[in-house]
């Protein structure tokens, strides 16, 4: 009772607070009303005829029952879609494992981790493309929906990480000025242009750069472009971590007789990566969300398959349902990534507290 | 006294290896260029920028400068660039206002407001911008009435093709009040300087804001009366199949501006919230103890400190916003990116076009960054001297 009354007091403590409460309360009520009438009052329920969706303005359940599979897997051959599903689950498992590793729930050795990643990605590609082990081949144009989104996002992030590390190392040394300048220029340019321009370079310019007569499909071309684009962002995050380490670390490693690669690989990079994990997770979330931009060059990720689903005559007015389904997926997956980021931030703060107490 | 010896010069090692690295990089570049030349030769093209002056032959959905399909590729690129800049400028203002309001509400006294603000931030932080854009577009196209039955909000007309705003009938004489604005600004700054000096000398406060506002608003007003500048409002009215008069904002532009404003507004909300929360609570209490009211505390104590913290991340946001205008290609807004997409499809000159496009985006981003950096440096200098 007292809790409720103090709460009410807080909501209307000053004229300003009262005004804010009223305005935002009214706004939220309006949004809630819109949501309720869409979800419940004007909805077409699963047991009602689908034809009703064209007249009613609310959520159309029959559409979701009919089209969710199309939105998830697009034009991947219908009776082979178990492979697309398996590949998606495999990729999700890789992502989940990495998340657990980041927050310290699993403690795999680096080598084991790399082996798991490489074999996992390879196996996912194998499942999607087929052509061996009696799996019938499926060209990459048909890898639609969830699997292509996950594959492009996860493979690009995994590939961009070593690129970022190499760029950071090139930028953070003095022995090779040419390499340092090149890395700096590359990072600044990549961070100053829109991702779409880089995707365009991948699709249109990259094929020109290959020896005459070679062909590269759009999916690998975009993947290469994404790897080099995200690499620049990761490099910037890692540089922050590397610069926050004290000089003494490097000097101590050197005086122990470690060479450059051992100093970096055993002493500097592990600490720098741990320190830059929160900002790396932010960049990863951005990279994951931006992967959906590939629809512009005709790769059918979730957003594009959502478009396919309401392009059927008869389902024209169901665009919102399709997009909200995709939105729910993105919201859930990004929220999971953000949770990892928050956990990392918390770990870091408690660690800092412990260090300052000592 | 023996001066301390200078540190030993860094030994110049690995010069040979550095040269080798440079040669390897150059060799790679040469290989790529060779492949490009060979490939273009196969397609019967010579690399170069002369094609920019050929006739473009395609139309754009909207243009702020006179443009027809007979004009050159260079002109169509300029058209797209101007569309990008206008869109960026409008959404930058929208995002900043939304972000500041959101940030203030999220540290405000009402918990209902705080819930709303954090819901807003979470929603837009976890969705891809292209999805937000497409949802807005679908809702606007399906939810708004056709032109003949446009919704009227006073003089503003909203249809599912475009937004129509009232404007002024253009007349060359309008330059007089427009040019009097910077004059007013200069006079206001001079008044401020004089008033500050006067205050420092006598200790008596001299009004600054009312005089400055009077100068800024009054000068154009006087100019209009003095030169008898024609002020003719132009209100959109139905003429046949479309509205005539006023300003026409295409639905694509409106949806893009709304998406960019809301999407980056959410991120700026977080920036502003972080900035305000980083001001120690003691600062508020000290200001209160000095007898400053809420508004003055904000304006004189909190805001200057927030500004210093907030400028670098804002810089980042503005650059991201400029880059994100390129998403307009997904709804057919004729910005730089979508114009370039069409040009590439027509000419098959991706290399030249991407060099031009990336260069233009880089210049835009660098311009905004250097402007904000300069402001930041000025703020820090002022802080150091006071």
Residue B347 half-sphere exposure toward CB, CA atoms < 13 A: 29
Distance, CA of A323 to CA of A315 (rounded, Å): 13
Q: Which residues pair with B153 in a beta bridge?
A: B156
Beta carbons of A196 and B135 less than 8 Å apart: no
- pLDDT at residue A127, rounded to an integer: 82
Search chain A and give the residue with CA nearest B348.
A204
- pLDDT at residue B325, rounded to an integer: 92
Query: In A, which residues are within 8 Å of B326 by CB distance?
Result: 194, 196-197
Helix (H, G, I), strand (E, B) or coil at B242: strand
Beta carbons of B337 and A194 less than 8 Å apart: yes
Confidence of residue A1 (pLDDT cuts 50, 70, 90): very low
Average pLDDT over all residues of chain A? 83
Query: In B, which residues are within 8 Å of A207 by CB distance?
Result: 39
For residue range B144-187, list pLDDT tens digits in order.
777 777 777 777 778 777 788 777 777 777 777 788 888 888 88
- pLDDT at residue B11, rounded to an integer: 56
Q: Is A244 on the interface with B (CB under 8 A)?
A: no
Structure-model confidence comparison of residues A9 and A251, the more confident one: A251
Distance, CA of B263 to CA of B318 (rounded, Å): 12
ipTM: 0.88
Beta carbons of B326 and A197 less than 8 Å apart: yes
For residue range A106-161, list pLDDT tens digits in order.
777 888 888 888 888 888 888 878 777 777 787 877 888 888 999 999 999 989 99
Of B269, B284, B276, B282, the closest CA to residue B305 belongs to: B276
Whether the per-residue pLDDT at B9 is higher than 70: the answer is no
Beta carbons of A209 and B340 less than 8 Å apart: no
Residue A187 CA, distance from chain mean position: 20
For residue A144, give the DSSP letter: -
Please give the average per-residue pLDDT across B310-316, as a whole number: 87
Q: Is A303 on the interface with B (CB under 8 A)?
A: yes
Beta carbons of A193 and B362 less than 8 Å apart: yes
Please give the average per-residue pLDDT across A20-42, as a whole number: 87
Please give the average per-residue pLDDT across A72-86, as a whole number: 81
Percentage, residues of chain A above pLDDT 90: 15
Residue A329 half-sphere exposure toward CB, CA atoms < 13 A: 22
Pairs across A and B, CB distance < 8 A:
174
Beta carbons of B340 and A200 less than 8 Å apart: yes
Contacts 24+ apart (CB under 8 A), B351-356: B351/A205, B351/A208, B351/B36, B351/B40, B351/B47, B352/B47, B352/B48, B352/B49, B352/B51, B352/B52, B354/A197, B354/A200, B354/A201, B354/A204, B354/A205, B356/B49, B356/B52, B356/B77
Please give the average per-residue pLDDT across A309-321, as a whole number: 78
A132 Cα to chain B: minimum distance (Å): 33
Extract the tokens encoding A41.
Answer: 């009052």
- pLDDT at residue B196, rounded to an integer: 85
Beta carbons of B32 and A174 less than 8 Å apart: no
Whether the per-residue pLDDT at A354 is higher than 60: the answer is yes
Confidence of residue A39 (pLDDT cuts 50, 70, 90): confident
Residue-range domains of chain A with CATH: 80-357 (1.10.3720.10)
Q: Is A15 on the interface with B (CB under 8 A)?
A: no
Query: In A, which residues are within 8 Å of B365 by CB distance?
Result: 192-193
Please give the average per-residue pLDDT across B66-81, as a whole number: 84
Please give the average per-residue pLDDT across B292-317, as a whole number: 84
Distance, CA of B65 to CA of B60 (rounded, Å): 11
Which of these ranges, A158-167, B141-150, B262-271, B281-290, has the smallest mean pLDDT?
B141-150
A307 Cα to chain B: minimum distance (Å): 10
For residue range A189-198, list pLDDT tens digits in order.
898 899 999 9
For residue range A322-351, list pLDDT tens digits in order.
888 899 999 999 988 888 888 888 887 777
Q: Which among A14, A174, A193 has the least Cβ separation from residue B361?
A: A193
Beta carbons of B344 and A204 less than 8 Å apart: yes
Query: In B, which residues are within 8 Å of A42 by CB distance?
Result: none
Q: Which among B122, B130, B358 has the least Cβ separation from residue A303?
A: B130
Whether the per-residue pLDDT at B231 is higher than 50: the answer is yes
Q: Which residues pair with B55 in a beta bridge?
A: B72
Search chain B and give the residue with CA nearest A18.
B110
Output helix, strand, coil percentages for chain B, rounded to the nearest 5: 70, 5, 25
Whether the per-residue pLDDT at B368 is higher than 80: the answer is yes
Extract the tokens encoding A202.
Answer: 């991948």
Distance, CA of A250 to CA of A37 (rounded, Å): 63
Which of these ranges, A3-7, A15-19, B137-141, B313-317, has the smallest mean pLDDT?
A3-7
Search chain A and give the residue with CA nearest B19.
A178
For residue range A267-304, list pLDDT tens digits in order.
888 888 888 888 888 889 989 998 988 888 888 888 88
Containing B233, the helix (H) or strand (E) segment is strand B233-234
Q: Which among A176, A209, A331 has the least Cβ separation from residue B17?
A: A176
Search chain B and give the residue with CA nearest A335.
B126
Confidence of residue B322 (pLDDT cuts 50, 70, 90): very high
């Amino acid at each position: 009772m007292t809790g409720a009354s103090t709460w009410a007091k807080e909501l209307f403590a000053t004229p300003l607070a009262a005004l804010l409460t009223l305005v935002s309360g009214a706004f939220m009520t309006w949004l809630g009303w819109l949501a309720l009438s869409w979800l419940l009052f004007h909805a077409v329920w699963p047991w009602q005829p689908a034809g009703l969706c064209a007249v009613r303005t609310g959520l159309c359940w029959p559409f979701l029952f009919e089209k969710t599979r199309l939105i998830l897997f697009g034009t991947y051959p219908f009776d082979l879609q178990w492979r697309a599903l398996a590949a998606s689950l495999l990729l999700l498992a890789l992502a989940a494992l990495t998340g657990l590793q980041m927050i310290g729930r699993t403690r795999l050795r680096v080598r084991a981790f790399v082996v798991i990643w490489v074999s996992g990605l390879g196996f996912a590609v194998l499942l999607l493309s087929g052509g061996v082990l009696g799996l019938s081949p499926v060209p990459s144009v048909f890898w639609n929906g969830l699997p292509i989104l996950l594959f492009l996002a996860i493979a690009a992030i995994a590939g961009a990480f070593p690129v970022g590390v190499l760029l950071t190392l090139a930028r953070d040394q003095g022995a090779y000025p040419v390499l340092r300048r090149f890395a700096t220029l590359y990072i600044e340019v990549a961070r100053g242009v829109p991702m779409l321009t880089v995707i365009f370079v991948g699709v249109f310019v990259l094929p020109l750069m290959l020896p005459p007569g070679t062909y590269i499909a759009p999916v690998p071309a975009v993947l290469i472009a994404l790897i080099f684009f995200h690499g620049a962002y990761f490099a910037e995050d890692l540089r922050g971590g590397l610069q926050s380490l004290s000089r003494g670390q490097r000097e101590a490693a050197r005086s122990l007789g470690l060479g450059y690669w051992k100093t970096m690989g055993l002493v500097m990079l592990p600490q720098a990566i741990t320190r830059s994990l929160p900002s790396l997770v932010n960049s990863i979330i951005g990279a994951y969300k931006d992967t959906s931009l590939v629809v512009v060059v005709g790769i059918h990720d979730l957003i594009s398959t959502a478009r396919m689903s309401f392009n059927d005559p008869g389902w024209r007015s169901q665009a919102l349902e399709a997009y909200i389904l995709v939105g729910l997926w993105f919201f859930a997956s990004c929220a999971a990534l953000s949770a990892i980021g928050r956990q990392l931030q918390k770990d870091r703060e408690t660690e800092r507290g412990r260090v300052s107490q000592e | 006294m023996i001066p301390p010896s200078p540190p030993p010069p860094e030994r110049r090692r690995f010069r040979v290896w550095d040269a080798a690295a440079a040669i390897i990089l150059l060799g790679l570049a040469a290989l790529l260029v060779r492949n490009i030349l060979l490939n273009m030769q196969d397609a019967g093209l010579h690399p170069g920028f002369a094609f920019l002056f050929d006739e473009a032959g395609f139309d754009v959905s909207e243009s702020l400068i006179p443009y027809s399909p007979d004009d050159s590729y260079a002109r169509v690129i300029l058209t797209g660039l101007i569309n990008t800049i206008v869109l960026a400028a409008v959404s930058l203002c929208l995002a900043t206002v939304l972000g500041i309001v959101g940030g203030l509400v999220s540290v405000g006294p009402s918990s209902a407001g705080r819930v709303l603000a954090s819901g807003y931030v979470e929603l837009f932080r976890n969705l891809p911008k292209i999805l937000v854009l497409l949802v807005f577009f679908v809702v606007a196209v399906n939810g708004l009435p056709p032109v003949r039955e446009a919704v009227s909000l006073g003089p503003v007309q909203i249809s599912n093709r475009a937004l129509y705003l009232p404007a002024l009938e253009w007349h060359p004489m309008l330059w007089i009040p427009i040019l009097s604005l910077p004059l007013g600004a200069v006079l206001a700054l001079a008044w401020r300087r004089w008033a500050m000096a006067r205050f420092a000398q006598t200790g008596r406060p001299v009004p600054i804001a009312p005089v400055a506002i009077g100068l800024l608003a009054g000068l154009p007003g006087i100019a209009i009366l003095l030169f008898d500048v024609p002020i003719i409002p132009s209100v959109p009215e139905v003429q046949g199949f479309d509205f005539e008069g006023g300003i026409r904002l295409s639905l694509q532009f409106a949806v893009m501006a709304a998406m960019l404003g809301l999407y980056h507004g959410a991120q700026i909300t977080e920036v502003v919230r972080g900035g305000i929360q980083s001001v120690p609570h003691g600062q508020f209490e000290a200001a209160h103890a000095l007898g400053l009211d809420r508004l003055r505390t904000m304006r004189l104590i909190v805001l200057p400190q927030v500004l210093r913290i907030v400028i670098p991340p804002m810089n980042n946001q503005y650059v991201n916003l400029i880059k994100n205008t390129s998403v307009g290609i997904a709804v057919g807004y004729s910005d730089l990116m979508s114009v370039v997409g069409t040009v590439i499809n027509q000419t098959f000159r991706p290399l030249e076009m991407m060099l031009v496009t990336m260069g233009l985006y880089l210049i835009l981003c660098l311009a905004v960054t250097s402007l904000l950096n300069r402001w930041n440096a000025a703020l820090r200098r002022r802080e150091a001297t006071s």
